[in-house]
């Protein structure tokens, strides 16, 4: 299994320089946030996408910000409070257990820079599927399998076709690729069964 991102480096995830290579606007435009009542930001870290998504959801909308790290969720909570947002729910997940998110509650799941850390992938994809409503969207963003100035070692990166194979084997329809920035690939899936 690939190494996990160190929570000690959380502030690196919030630097404005990140906007040049992973702009939330460019990623989130592939989701119809203004139509959703619930979005799961899986592997949310300190909330680079969660806060922006929370601002774009309808007034009754909710972001389930899911992470394995209590430190990341504590930083997320501080940022949510500073932003005056009330529609972000921090969710601490366990590695192999079911995420404490209701079944079929989300219209969409956003999975950014996490999939290369997942083992086994089938359990992870199964949880994404479980929390999505029928017809729900999953936008998965991960590192291109080529040398980039940011990102994990090449040996830890996952080929996009392997991600597509795992998701389609689990009951998702592959909608196609999405332009999400220079160092990452974006893949859009719809829950079919």
Q: Tell me the average pLDDT across 141-159.
A: 94
Q: Tell me the average pLDDT across 162-174.
A: 96
pLDDT attached to residue 118: 87
Cα separation, 158 vs 89, whole angstroms: 29
Of 17-31, 53-67, 158-172, the range with the lowest mean pLDDT is: 17-31
Question: Assign residue 88 a region: left if phi > 0, alpha if psi is -120 to 50, beta otherwise?
Answer: beta
Q: Tell me the average pLDDT across 50-71.
A: 95
pLDDT attached to residue 14: 56
In sequence order, the β-bridge partners of residue 66 are 42, 91
Is the model's pLDDT at 20 over the cut of 80?
Answer: no
What's this model's pTM, rounded to 2 decimal places? Answer: 0.90
pLDDT attached to residue 1: 42
CATH classification for the domain delimited by 19-191, as one of 2.60.40.10, 3.40.50.2000, 3.40.50.11290, 3.40.50.150: 3.40.50.150
Residue with the bigger pLDDT between 4 and 175: it is 175
pLDDT band, very low/low/confident/very high, at 78 (cuts 50, 70, 90) = very high
Is the model's pLDDT at 96 over the cut of 60?
Answer: no
The terminus-to-terminus CA distance of the chain in angstroms comes to 29
pLDDT attached to residue 50: 96
pLDDT digits (tens, 9 = 90+) for 116-148: 988 888 899 999 999 999 999 999 999 999 999
Of 10-14, 59-63, 140-144, the range with the lowest mean pLDDT is: 10-14
Is the model's pLDDT at 170 over the cut of 50?
Answer: yes
pLDDT band, very low/low/confident/very high, at 18 (cuts 50, 70, 90) = low
Cα separation, 189 vs 138, whole angstroms: 5
Residues, the chain, total?
A: 193
pLDDT attached to residue 122: 86
| 85's tokens | 């947002």
- Contacting residues for 93 by C-beta, under 8 A, at least 6 apart: 66, 67, 68, 99, 100
- What's the Cα-to-Cα distance from 70 to each of 14, 85, 152, rounded to whole Å? 17, 20, 22
Q: Tell me the average pLDDT across 140-169.
A: 95
């Amino acid at each position: 299994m690939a190494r996990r991102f160190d929570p000690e480096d959380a502030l690196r995830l919030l630097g404005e320089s990140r906007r040049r290579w992973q702009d939330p606007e460019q990623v989130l435009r592939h989701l119809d946030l203004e139509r959703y009542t619930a979005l799961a930001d899986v592997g949310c870290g300190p909330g680079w996408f969660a806060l922006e998504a929370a601002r774009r959801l309808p007034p009754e909308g909710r972001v389930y910000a899911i992470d394995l790290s209590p430190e990341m969720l504590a930083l997320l909570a501080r940022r949510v409070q500073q932003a005056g947002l009330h529609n972000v729910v921090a969710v601490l997940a366990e590695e192999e257990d079911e995420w404490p998110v209701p079944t079929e509650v989300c219209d969409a799941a956003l999975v950014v820079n996490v999939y290369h850390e997942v083992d086994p992938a089938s359990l992870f994809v199964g949880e994404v599927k479980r929390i999505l409503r029928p017809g729900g969207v999953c936008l998965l963003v991960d590192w291109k399998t080529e040398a980039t100035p940011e990102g994990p070692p090449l040996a830890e990166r996952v080929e996009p076709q392997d991600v597509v194979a795992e998701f389609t084997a689990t009951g998702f329809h592959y909608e196609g690729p999405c332009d999400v920035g220079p160092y990452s690939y974006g893949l859009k899936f719809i829950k079919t069964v």
